[in-house]
Structure formats: structure tokens, C-alpha cells
């Protein structure tokens, strides 16, 4: 079946612009995660959605970052007033169910964001 998909695959933007990154999880997966992969910081957790529960936003680095998940499926990560330090690969992952501490997280190919 189809895996996790992300769009766009690459995004180049100018400092100060807003960007939206999209994630389509595997059908039927109830949990969705966003991570950021950057040269300086490695892989960092950003936000977690589980069904209709309030998301865990504890990893978002600033209030310029927000995310939503519509209908328990597609998720959009929005970065407002982008800064050069936001340049990174943004990875999305999903798991089949809650109790996912031991569940495999299935990762998408990522969106490479470059802020000029």
C-alpha cells in the first residue's frame, strides 16, 4: 500500500515568508508525528497528533511554528515569518494506533526547506 507522502519535496523561500508543508499519513494510521532534521541539531521531535486528542506541541521551537490535522488524516505544518535557521528537512511519520512507544513509526521522504 501507499506509504507516508509529503509535499512539496523541496521548498525554497525568502526570509520572512510563510510556508506550509503537507503530510498524508498511511491510511488508517491514527497517530502522526512531525520531526525536523538539521545539520546542527540532528533529528528533533516537533509535534504529535493522536486521533481527536489535543496535540502534543512540546517540541515546537517557537510560536512561529504551528500544525493542524484535519479529519484525523492530512496534516499541515506552518512556519510563519521564516528564518534562515528554519532551513532543514521536515519529516512526517505515522503509526497505526496509540500505545506507540513500541510501534514502528513509518516515515515519509521529507520536505527540504531552504530559507534564503
Partner 1 sequence: AQSVTQLGSHVSVSEGALVLLRCNYSSSVPPYLFWYVQYPNQGLQLLLKYTTGATLVKGINGFEAEFKKSETSFHLTKPSAHMSDAAEYFCAVSGGSNYKLTFGKGTLLTVNP
Residues at the site binding partner 1, with contacts judged by CB under 8 A: 4, 31, 33, 35, 42-45, 48, 56, 59, 91, 93, 100-102, 104-105, 107-110
Residues 6 or more apart from 86 whose CB is under 8 A from it? Answer: 64, 79, 113, 115
Quote the least distance from Cβ 12 to partner 1, whole Å.
Answer: 16
Q: Nearer to partner 1 by C-beta: 80 or 96?
A: 96
> In this complex, which beta carbon is closest to partner 1, that of residue 20 or of residue 44?
44
Residues ≥6 apart with Cβ < 8 Å to 102: none
CA distances from 76 to 13, 51, 56, 72 (A): 17, 15, 15, 12
- Tell me the closest approach of the beta carbon of residue 116 to partner 1, in angstroms: 20
83, three cell numbers: 528564518
Residue 104: CB minimum distance to partner 1, A: 5
Please identify, using beta-carbon distances, which residue of 17 and 97 lies nearer to partner 1: 97
What Rg, from alpha-carbon coordinates, does the chain have? Answer: 13
Amino acid at each position: 500500500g501507499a506509504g507516508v507522502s509529503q509535499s512539496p519535496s523541496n521548498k525554497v523561500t525568502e526570509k520572512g515568508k510563510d510556508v506550509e508543508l503537507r503530510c498524508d499519513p498511511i491510511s488508517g494510521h491514527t497517530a502522526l508525528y512531525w520531526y525536523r532534521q538539521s545539520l546542527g541539531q540532528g533529528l528533533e521531535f516537533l509535534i504529535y497528533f493522536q486521533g481527536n486528542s489535543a496535540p502534543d506541541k512540546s517540541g515546537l521551537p517557537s510560536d512561529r511554528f504551528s500544525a493542524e490535522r484535519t479529519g484525523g488524516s492530512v496534516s499541515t505544518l506552518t512556519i510563519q515569518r521564516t528564518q534562515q535557521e528554519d532551513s532543514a528537512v521536515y519529516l512526517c511519520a505515522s503509526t497505526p494506533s496509540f500505545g506507540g512507544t513500541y510501534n514502528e513509526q513509518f516515515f515519509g521522504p521529507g520536505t527540504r526547506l531552504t530559507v534564503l
